[in-house]
Amino acid sequence: MTVLARPWRRLTPTGRIVVPLLALFLLLGLLGFLGLVTGIIPGLVNLLLALAGANPGIVRFVVAATAILLISIPIAFINIYAEMKVIALMNSRLGPNRVGPWGTLQSVFHGLKVLAKEDFTPTGADRSAFTIAPIVVFLTVVLSFLVIPFAPGLFGADLNVGLLYFFAVGGLSVVGLLMAGWSSFNKYSLLGGLRSAAQMVSYEIPLTLSVVGLVMLAGTMSLNGIVEAQGGHFWNWYVFQQPLGFAIFFIAAAAEANRTPFDLTEADSEIVAGFVTEYSGMRFGFFFFAEYVTLFVMSALTAVLFLGGWHAPVDIHALAAFLGLTVPALSIDPGQLGVGLLLLLTLGPIVGTLVLAVPVALWRTDWSIWRSLLVGFILLNVVVGGLVSIFAYAAFEVVAGVFWFMAKTFTLVFVFVWMRATLPRVRVDQLMAFAWKWLLPAALLNIFVTAIAIVVLG
């Protein structure tokens, strides 16, 4: 033991990270070599491929769940950065501008800061419920992703009751909030948990009822079916056929996502920090990551239900047919270029960088040649990336669908952030009265008016 301890103590902190990693890589390499030699790894690969071929539904679910887990945290970081930057600009401030280019890594370091803090459990707390509560809240948001269609064919699961599934899974977050408030052994946390449950249950009713008229028009609860029913031009979107339903849904969605002016679940001026008063470290971070992912999910659902989902505002093919024109299909076969493809890949970056670096060097004569070349290389990447993106948008329906879906979703995210920078927080009695006295009757009125319109107009 002493033989190993002495060299270990002499290592630098960097060495204590690098040496175990090297040992791990060597061990994995040795195991991989033995597996290949003995035939174990090829056998396992063939077994997995056979299982995947026999169960495509399970494979699709696993891939979708993995992708959703991987994109949920970056989405939270993007929303946090956007909120800090947008609110700063609205308040005539600079906002984040130190960590990363234009402050883009500020939210990432916020996450690392939360991860590095002590994970503390208060004395008297119910440890199991206290630990599980943030997991429950976060997973309910992540599971809601499964039925969101990002583009044609790009979704986790196309359920014929996808909208019902979304509301059912989203409602489970109330359980996590109550668990957090009750298990913390703190009166402020308990009050915050009860207030959160009351708010979310109250606003789930008008939120659900606001889409009943939309479901009657679409004839399905499948989110893919609802998006397809809004195909064509923008006047087919349900926001124009269900304006009252859209207004109710948007207000209730703001309350469900705990956004201003309905952010009473952590009203720090009244109940310290609500149900998260006793939380710290990554368990605290899970709650607020869930809140910012919920912001994206509710914006995405609004885009799917009322703004046409992945459809562009104008159907180019229908417009061209109306004008008597034909939209050419783009198809490029790189193999037809032959040796030209090899020359393009090898000489293209060099020539492109030089061509773009020359005007930069003429414009900024005080710069060195290397700096001009670096700027030329960056400009080349921007130009090539733009051209590839334009080609992909025109050639692939999925790319165009993702573009319009994300454009609509992040526009709604911007509106939510704008509301936070503009509106004051309401009182809790005003919050509850607005849900039961105004939104609920308006949602019922929307259902009856839609039903009468369907019967009368066919």
* DSSP of 49-102: HHHHHH-HHHHHHHHHHHHHHHHHHHHHHHHHHHHHHHHHHHTT---S-SSSGG
- Give Cβ neighbours of residue 220 (< 8 Å, ≥ 6 apart): 160, 226, 229
Region 417-433: what's the mean pLDDT? 89
Mapping DSSP to helix (H, G, I), strand (E, B) and coil, where does residue 149 land? coil
Determine the pLDDT at residue 3: 62
Region 222-232: what's the mean pLDDT? 92
Give which of 203, 198, 205, 204 is closest to 181, Cα–Cα.
198
Domain definitions of the chain by residue range = 111-320+398-457, 334-380
Region 297-306: what's the mean pLDDT? 95
Give which of 120, 110, 128 is closest to 280, Cα–Cα.
120
CA distance 268 to 279: 14
> Which tens digit of pLDDT belongs to each residue from 184-202?
988 888 888 888 888 888 9
> Which tens digit of pLDDT belongs to each residue from 115-157?
888 888 888 888 899 999 999 999 898 888 889 999 998 888 8
- Give Cβ neighbours of residue 73 (< 8 Å, ≥ 6 apart): 111, 289
Q: What is the CA radius of gyration of the chain?
A: 27
Which of 142-156, 200-214, 306-320, 389-403 has maximum average pLDDT? 200-214
Determine the pLDDT at residue 35: 81
- Is the pLDDT assigned to residue 239 strictly greater than 90? yes
Region 271-288: what's the mean pLDDT? 83
Region 428-432: what's the mean pLDDT? 87
450: left (phi over 0), alpha (psi -120 to 50) or beta: alpha
CA distance 325 to 328: 10
- Give Cβ neighbours of residue 226 (< 8 Å, ≥ 6 apart): 163, 214, 215, 218, 220, 238, 304, 305, 309
Please give the C-alpha separations between residue 433 and each of 70, 262, 440, 441, in angstroms, as whole numbers.
Answer: 39, 12, 10, 12
CA distance 301 to 312: 16
Q: Higher model confidence: residue 428 or residue 252?
A: 252
Instruction: Look up the pTM and report it.
Output: 0.84
Count of residues for the chain? 458
Share of the chain above pLDDT 90, in %: 34
Mapping DSSP to helix (H, G, I), strand (E, B) and coil, where does residue 366 land? coil
Q: Higher model confidence: residue 319 or residue 388?
A: 388
Determine the pLDDT at residue 217: 93
CA distance 268 to 275: 11
> Which tens digit of pLDDT belongs to each residue from 16-40?
777 788 888 888 888 887 888 888 8
CA distance 334 to 340: 9
> Which tens digit of pLDDT belongs to each residue from 164-180?
999 999 888 889 989 99
Determine the pLDDT at residue 305: 95
- Is the pLDDT assigned to residue 268 strictly greater than 60? no
Give the lowest-confidence range in 42-51, 90-99, 244-253: 42-51
